[in-house]
Each structure stands twice: as C-alpha cells, then as structure tokens.
A and B are shown apart, each in its own frame.
Chain A
Amino acid sequence: DAGVTQSPTHLIKTRGQQVTLRCSPKSGHDTVSWYQQALGQGPQFIFQYYEEEERQRGNFPDRFSGHQFPNYSSELNVNALLLGDSALYLCASSSGLNIGSPLHFGNGTRLTVT
C-alpha cells in the first residue's frame, strides 16, 4: 500500500482537451508535489503545494496548473493537451517543506494523448 492515492490510474484524451488528475496524500502529510515521467526518463518536477499555495514550480508552461484543498488533497490540471503531454504523472506527499521529510510516491496516472 503506497499510502498516496492517485486517480484515475489510466486516462486517454484527445489533443486540445483538458484533464484533471487527483491525489490524496499519505495520512499525516500536508505537502504534495507533482512529477511528470515520460517513457524512459526520470520524473520531472512540475510543482509543489503546501498550505494551499504553490510553493515551487519546475520548468512547465502555464497550461499546467494545480490546486490543494483544505484536506491536503491536490489536483493537477493540464489545458490544451499536446501529444507530448503523454506520460506517467506522479504525486508525492511529504510533511512540511523540510528537506528531512522523505517523499512518498503514488502509483501514478498514465495519461495518453491522441
């Protein structure tokens, strides 16, 4: 049991559409980070949410946006989907922003854009 829950597990969308991915953090965690993992690559950091605010952001366009709810769960939204957005999207939770708090990853959402 990963502790971090992501939904859905798989998703197929058409180019130009919008998608929302969801993440529930491990119990006791209040910080959520999102990563994109393209096939054959390591995960790339998209952004991090803490106290319902975006705290850090990676090199991703504004088409990628997110939200964190008062119960610490989070959503990742991607607008105007491109074929290149096809990837595994990983959610990771942790406790606070301290570097000593290890990340716990979910199993991911596999997004396919056709």
Chain B
Amino acid sequence: AQSVSQHNHHVILSEAASLELGCNYSYGGTVNLFWYVQYPGQHLQLLLKYFSGDPLVKGIKGFEAEFIKSKFSFNLRKPSVQWSDTAEYFCAVNDPPNQGGKLIFGQGTELSVKP
C-alpha cells in the first residue's frame, strides 16, 4: 500500500532563510503528488500539485516542489520564507492514481518562522 513520509516534524527558521521540506512516497509507478498547507485556525489549502510533465512544479506564494522519480521524493522548497509562512505542511499522494478523492497524507511538518 502507498505511504508517505515526511521526515521533518518541526522546522524553525528565521525570516529570509531558505526552506526545504522532505517528502518520500513508497510505491513506484504513476503517482499524483500534492502539498497542502494549514495556516493556524484555517482549513487545509492546496499549495501545488504534480500529475505529469515538468518535474519542477510551481505553486502559490512562491513555493515550488521537485518530483524526483528515482528517489521517490517530492520535496517542497521556498527560497526565502516569511513570518506568514508559519503553518503545518502536508505532503500527499493520490491512491489509486487514476481516481480522485482519496489522498494518502504524510504526518505533516510544522514550520515556525521567527520574525
């Protein structure tokens, strides 16, 4: 069965620092990958998604992620974080890949950005 691992549980950064959050999935073949963000007190929101094509995906608010098939990874990056990026970030994969609605989530990474 498909699973998703996020190795960083809590990351603390200062403003303007660069961010990279790790995400690995377990099952090869066709995958559809997502990053969701949950700001304090708000609902989960889609940051970006990868279905096919260019493995470097750009999302909202300056975030991007790179799909590396050989490493089963989909890491999230941002060159310069802001205090407003403080949130919990979830990586997810669609399972099965041909039908929407069922996502397998990682356990999440809490990001704290110090002003």
Contact = CB atoms under 8 A, between A and B. Distances in A.
A41 B101 CA distance: 19
A99 B100 contact: yes
A71 interface: no
A60 to B, nearest CB: 12
A58 interface: yes
Q: Is the interface of A mostly helix, strand, loop or mixed?
A: loop
Interface string B18-54: 0000000000000010001000001111100101000
B111 interface: no
Nearest to B46: A102
Q: Is the interface of B mostly helix, strand, loop or mixed?
A: loop
B104 interface: yes
Interface string B85-99: 000001010100111
Interface string A5-43: 000000000000000000000000001010000001111
Interface string B102-113: 111111100000
Nearest 6 interchain pairs by C-beta: A42-B105, A105-B44, A99-B100, A48-B101, A2-B43, A33-B101
